[in-house]
Chains A and B, each alone.
Chain A
Amino acid sequence: MAMDIAINGDNAVALAWKQIDPDVCAAYPITPQTIIVEKFAEYVANGEVTTEFVCVESEHSALTLCTSSESAGARTFTATASQGLAYMWEMLPITAAMRTPLIMAVANRAVSGPININNDHGDAMSARDCGWLMLFAENVQQAYDISIMAPRIAEHHDIQLPCMVNLDGFILTHAIERMTMVDTADVKKFVGDFKPLYPLLDVKHPVSHGNMDGPDFYYPHKCQSAMAMQKAIDVCEEVFADFAKLTGREYHLLDEYRCDDADFVAVILGSSMGTMKATVDILRENGIKAGCLMPRVFRPWPEAAIAKALAGKKAVAVFDKHLSIGAYGPMFPEIVAACSELDKLPKMYNVIYGLGGADATVAGFKKMMEEVAAGGASKITYLGVKM
């Protein structure tokens, strides 16, 4: 029975995992993800899941073990954040290239240095070129819902790519929100059985995984991954539609808020979307036709949907919680590229904000969007920074 509960983001992810009951889970603790593995270990200890739970000695081994476990034919989950994701980096493109559809929750946190445990998107954004599906949550409900939908997308036989489920560290991982659970039987039915392709454990049909490619094969293999990623646009929409039928909760490639008639649109990712929605309401009351938009799906990049949503806008402000030092925030050039074929390119601004947990407030967003609306913003603004 669908039931409303109060739960934090990490426990919501762990709850989704419990309901799915994966075959294998290997993880290494790191703040602010730790609650996920602690809670899941508790489920294991109490026999509430049938999962083989492995406490590895590092994140590098966590992702390695999960990759080979998934290749062997077991549905496998893990979770990490920040330095843990950085330590996994060597394995990230390997996991994707081996087409292992494992699921990883990422409790987004700033990457050292300086060492900082608070939220920004530096970890996920630094991993964006690795070939993983990347979905982002705005709130606890979404972190839970996406955790349930992710295996359906990743494991789809046309896709076969690993998936990161991103939720903002502390802001979502540690904050208790009201959330509606999906009935466990419905979760199991929705996710379905894992049907691996070419599993290692099928010893009667031996295959080699992780072979060495020369240029004749490396390049085409990368392109095959890119084609699978493109197909994931359709698969995401299918899975979102099925989930809406089950729960009534609608998901789309983009979460658009008051964009239809907006002149000025803020593009933003993660929990700050909620802050931006509140900002948009105030701006509207003040006569500024603002809207906001969040790419629910960051990889694959939903370029067509973005171009459609931003067509005819006067200005677009792209809010990035990460900075490619020496260039822009990571979303900005991609938003510009998505709009490049529009008849008239909106005025484009990049806003860097919230690095290392710096405050992201309605007041700050409002002032920024007022400057955008007035045409007075710089091409790149470091919002709220005190030097």
Chain B
Amino acid sequence: MTSLSLKDLTKMPVRLASGHRLCAGCAESIIAKQILMGTEDHVIVSGSTGCFEVSTTIFPYTSWNTPYIHTAFGNGAATCAGVETAYAALKRKGKISDTIKFVNFAGDGATYDIGLQALSGAMERGHKMMYVCLNNEAYMNTGIQRSSATGMGASTTTSWAGSMASGKKEFPKDLTAIMVAHNIPYVAQVSPHNWRDTVTKASKGFAADGPSFINAVSPCPRGWRFASEDTISMARLAVETCIWPLYEVVDGQYNLTAESARIADGKAEKKPVLEWIKAQGRFKHLLQDRWEPVVESIQDEVDKRWDKLIRLSKF
């Protein structure tokens, strides 16, 4: 996959048309386009209810140049699995001849929280499908409420920073590890700033003989409070601070990739999380002296998770 070139990628079919209603600076369409560049086969897309779904399917329009289905919020994995099952049935009976891939796009609310059961079920059953979490770290579609993917200290509309509170009290759930624990063939974390890494991982996920799961950090200008032109640099910063390490787990084996591999190798700097915190309005209260211990505990947790990832990886 080192031969991936932007020039070749421009020749890929445009499966998600421009003109959708996502916010300026939203990373979700960028990630989705990169993921969909991971296969030249036909792709049927499903979507869990959320920003990406409502913004691309407003009747009587659709942004999708490939078959698309949405049913509800907590069941994206089951929705995708149903199409894949129909494909398996009709292919076996010789009623269809096309080779088709299947992918579900869902936010972190639909993945980490309300849709975890359906996701776990679909992964356990081994449907040949990819599930992509567009992780913007909160319920952005309903107005920036905390999810179990929200970082500690983030002020959201259900975990406000206030005179008595420093924002969200808990660290984010390690959903990627939960997916690894399903022993599926391919699991990865990606960031849209590194298109080569993302497209490469998507192609591995689509090629996997079974379910694959990709967790993508998706910076949200509205929810994270940063300028809409800074989306890609914010995604890069997530990786450089090790808040969002880039890695893949192939048949159980962890491999750090791209910038994360270089940081682990000592070839790139591991930036302090304070840079991450300073860059986003959702954390601005943490710069007050009294919340310094919170910043320290975030750094400690990031270090702890990063060290564990290095122990698990070969690089």
Query: Which positions in A face B, CB cutoff 8 Å?
Result: 23-24, 26, 50-52, 54-58, 60-61, 64-74, 76, 90-91, 94, 98, 200-203, 206-214, 217
Contacts and interface: CB of A to CB of B under 8 A. Distances in A.
Given A201-B100, A203-B98, A60 B86 contact: no
Nearest to A90: B72
Interface residues of B, number: 46
Contacts of B68: 200, 206-209
B118 A64 contact: yes
A61 B62 contact: no
13 contacts: A51-B89, A54-B85, A54-B125, A60-B117, A64-B71, A67-B79, A68-B71, A69-B83, A72-B69, A74-B89, A206-B65, A211-B59, A211-B62
Interface of B: 42, 44, 46, 53-54, 57-60, 62, 64-72, 74-75, 77-83, 85-90, 92-93, 96, 98, 100, 117-118, 120-122, 124-125
B90 A23 contact: yes
Contacts of A72: 44, 69, 82-83, 86-87, 90
A363 B40 CA distance: 71
Per DSSP, are chain A's interface residues mostly helix, strand or loop, or mixed?
A: mixed
Contacts of B46: 68
Contacts of B71: 64, 67-68, 91, 94, 98, 210
Q: Which of B72, B100, B124 gathers most chain A CB within 10 Å? A: B72
A208 B90 contact: no
Nearest to A58: B117
B121 A58 contact: yes
Contacts of A54: 81, 85, 125
A205 to B, nearest CB: 9
Contact of B44 (A23, A70, A91, A203): A203
B86 A23 contact: yes
Q: Which 10 A-B pairs have the closest CB atoms?
A: A68-B82, A57-B121, A72-B86, A74-B86, A65-B82, A210-B70, A208-B62, A61-B78, A64-B78, A69-B82
A51 B64 CA distance: 30
Contacts of A214: 58-59
Q: Which of B90, B98, B125 gathers most chain A CB within 10 Å? A: B90
B67 A68 contact: no
A56 B89 contact: no
Contacts of A71: 69, 82-83
Nearest to B118: A61
A369 to B, nearest CB: 45
A214 to B, nearest CB: 7
A342 to B, nearest CB: 42
B12 to A, nearest CB: 16
A55 B125 contact: yes
Nearest to A217: B59
B67 A206 contact: yes
Q: Which of A52, A202, A208 gathers most chain B CB within 10 Å? A: A208
Contact of A68 (B64, B79, B88, B121): B79
B79 to A, nearest CB: 5
Contacts of A201: 44, 67, 83, 86-87, 90, 96, 98, 100
A52 B85 contact: yes
Given A50-B93, A61-B118, A201-B83, A212 B69 contact: no
B54 A212 contact: yes
Nearest to B53: A212
B42 A56 contact: no
A24 B121 CA distance: 17
A198 to B, nearest CB: 9
Contacts of B78: 56, 60-61, 64-65, 68
Given A50-B93, A60-B118, A200 B83 contact: yes
Contact of B79 (A23, A64, A76, A211): A64
Given A203-B100, A208-B62, A212-B58, A64 B75 contact: yes
B86 A76 contact: yes
Given A64-B118, A68-B46, A203-B66, A24 B86 contact: yes
Contacts of A74: 85-86, 89-90
Given A72-B86, A90-B72, 16 more contacts: A52-B86, A54-B125, A61-B117, A64-B71, A65-B81, A69-B89, A91-B75, A200-B44, A200-B86, A201-B98, A206-B68, A211-B57, A211-B59, A211-B60, A211-B62, A217-B60
Contacts of B59: 211-214, 217
A23 B121 CA distance: 21
Nearest to A22: B89
A160 B57 CA distance: 22
A90 B74 CA distance: 10
Contacts of B57: 208, 210-212
A212 B126 CA distance: 30
Given A201-B44, A211-B57, A211-B59, A52 B88 contact: yes
B117 A68 contact: no
Q: Which of B64, B71, B80, B90 gathers most chain A CB within 10 Å? A: B71
A83 to B, nearest CB: 15
Contacts of A24: 82, 85-86, 89
A23 B53 CA distance: 28
